[in-house]
Chain A
Amino acid sequence: KQEVTQIPAALSVPEGENLVLNCSFTDSAIYNLQWFRQDPGKGLTSLLLIQSSQREQTSGRLNASLDKSSGRSTLYIAASQPGDSATYLCAVNDNDMRFGAGTRLTVKP
């Protein structure tokens, strides 16, 4: 059964820092991987979707990479802002969607 792990569970950084969130998964036979953002008490908003044949995807200050063979993905956030404070979840699609527990990010002004 696919297991998805996100490290760290929580992260606090000063505004302006570049940061990396990590996601690892145990079975490399995936179709794609999706990164989500969740604000407190809200649903999940899709940030980036990487197909299994792709190495990375970019959207604005966000860049997600995928190394399927090693079972890892990273979400890179450039020049972090207080508005980036949220929980970030990754999910792998191997026909089922399996979610990590998320990384709670706090960006301090």
Chain B
Amino acid sequence: DGGITQSPKYLFRKEGQNVTLSCEQNLNHDAMYWYRQDPGQGLRLIYYSQIVNDFQKGDIAEGYSVSREKKESFPLTVTSAQKNPTAFYLCASRTYNEQFFGPGTRLTVL
């Protein structure tokens, strides 16, 4: 089955820890995205990558980092510099026209 997988589904972080969220796609899409979703708000773009070894900051990149070493993988690291990381994180990939989403990771700071 073609699609986007995210792991883990739930993640708990202690204050001061860095954590990495995984995103893998087998759709052969060049473009991949990370969004953050908070209750009652739309999706906000964290980082995106149009091609391997290249990525750009989105609207709320502070406190996050990414890498794009392989076409199918786009991991997101939430660093200790992100002051309010508790949220639902969604990974997406895109053809020219249409965007496809993974199932999401819910991150909670303890």
Binding site for B on A (CB under 8 A): 4, 9, 31-32, 34, 36, 41-46, 49, 51, 89, 91, 93, 96-102
Chain B residue at minimum C-beta to C-beta distance from A97: B99
Which residues of B are found within 8 Å of A98, using beta-carbon distances? Answer: 42
Known A43-B90, A100-B42; contact A34-B104, beta-carbon cutoff 8 A: no
Partner of B102, one of A4, A43, A93: A43
Contact count band on B: 20 to 34
B50 to chain A, nearest CB (A): 11
Which residues of A are found within 8 Å of B41, using beta-carbon distances? Answer: 101
Partner of B99, one of A34, A41, A100, A102: A34
B99 engages A91 (CB within 8 Å): yes
Most chain B CB within 10 A, of A9, A44, A49, is at A44
Q: What are 5 A-B pairs at a CB distance below 8 A?
A: A32-B98, A34-B98, A44-B92, A89-B43, A99-B35
Which residues of A are found within 8 Å of B106, using beta-carbon distances? Answer: 41
